[in-house]
Amino acid sequence: MAMLEIKDIEVFYGVIQAIKGISFEVNEGEVIALIGANGAGKTTILHTITGLLSPKKGSVVFEGKDITKVPAHKIVSLGMAHVPEGRRVFAELSVYQNLKMGAYTRKDKAEIAQTLEMVYKRFPRLEERKNQLAGTLSGGEQQMLAMGRALMSHPKIIVMDEPSMGLSPILVNEIFDIIQEVSAGGTTVLLVEQNAKKALSIADRAYVLETGKIVLDGDAKELMNDDSIKKAYLGE
């Protein structure tokens, strides 16, 4: 059974249909990439999965449980964490306070301390700056903080929206290395990414979106060599 199943989802903004009957699945331990141009509906899908939007039709099933109508804050406690587009860190709080916010669904203090240790190990820069206000961090550091904060909830699956957006090429590589580490640590990853080349290089499988529909899916390495994908998304 798939860890996450999206079945025939249709989403509207007013009269405009953003998602036109999409189905896909994510298996435990996979890195899945959703790629597509701006406005293809990638973020809308993530928001529907994480409970920020309600579909007009279709369902979202997580670990065998229908979560279509479950509010976003409850979905976190089921084991799904969302790293939103544009990072969305709490600018007025310190790095440490931001990380603690990520663990709000957990009760065991010793386990939370352990997870914090793990996050600091993975992101040494966050530990160095733990007392600094999050708003004063660079873009790359804020992205690391958003990822670290999501990991604090000890998720089974982490959903990431455009993690490389606005970052320098060196930082992009660093963020993608971290995503691979997160995956190697046993967390399933669903990734929305405009940098198709990078996304396909670390994903197991990928789905290609165009105007609210999935037009292609398959093994990520095979898609990387697909001529239509090369032309449309890899700039070749």
pLDDT of residue 167: 86
Residues 57-74, mean pLDDT to the nearest whole number = 93
Residue 217 neighbours by CB under 8 Å, 6+ apart? 24, 205, 206, 207, 208
pLDDT in tens, 171-216: 899 889 989 999 998 999 999 988 888 999 999 999 999 989 999 9
- Strands 65-66 vs 57-62: parallel, antiparallel or unpaired: antiparallel
Distance CA 170, CA 167 (A): 8
pLDDT of residue 159: 94
pLDDT of residue 131: 95
Q: How many domains does the chain have?
A: 2
Query: Among 3-17, 32-46, 76-90, 216-230, which range has the highest average pLDDT?
Result: 3-17
Residues 116-122, mean pLDDT to the nearest whole number = 92
Reading the block at residue 170, the tokens are 């060196």
- Percent of the chain scored above 70 by pLDDT? 99
pLDDT over 90 at 128, yes or no: yes
Residues 69-73, mean pLDDT to the nearest whole number = 89
Adjacent-strand bridge partners of 33: 191, 206
CATH assignment at residue 170: 3.40.50.300
| Domain match, 186 and 228 both | yes
Who wins on pLDDT, 222 or 39? 222
Mean pLDDT of the chain: 91
| Domain match, 65 and 129 both | no
Q: How many CB atoms lie within 10 A of CB 161?
A: 24
Which of 99, 125, 152 is the last residue before a domain boundary? 152
pLDDT of residue 96: 95
Reading the block at residue 44, the tokens are 């809308």
pLDDT over 70 at 123, yes or no: yes
**DSSP 3-state of 99:** helix
Residues 34-44, mean pLDDT to the nearest whole number = 87
pLDDT of residue 236: 58
Which of 152, 175, 202 is the last residue before a domain boundary? 152
Q: How confident is the model at residue 29 (pLDDT cuts 50, 70, 90)?
A: very high
Distance CA 9, CA 43 (A): 14
pLDDT of residue 4: 97
Q: Which residue has the tokens 């896909």?
A: 24
Reading the block at residue 175, the tokens are 């963020």
| Domain match, 40 and 96 both | no
- Percent of the chain scored above 90 by pLDDT? 61
Domain assignment present for residue 47? The answer is: yes
pLDDT over 70 at 235, yes or no: no
Question: 161: domain range?
Answer: 4-79+155-233
Residues 91-100, mean pLDDT to the nearest whole number = 94
Residue 232 neighbours by CB under 8 Å, 6+ apart? 37
Distance CA 174, CA 164 (A): 10
Distance CA 152, CA 148 (A): 6
Which of 136, 152, 168 is the last residue before a domain boundary? 152
Of 217, 223, 226, nearest in space to 202 by CA:
223
| Domain match, 209 and 94 both | no
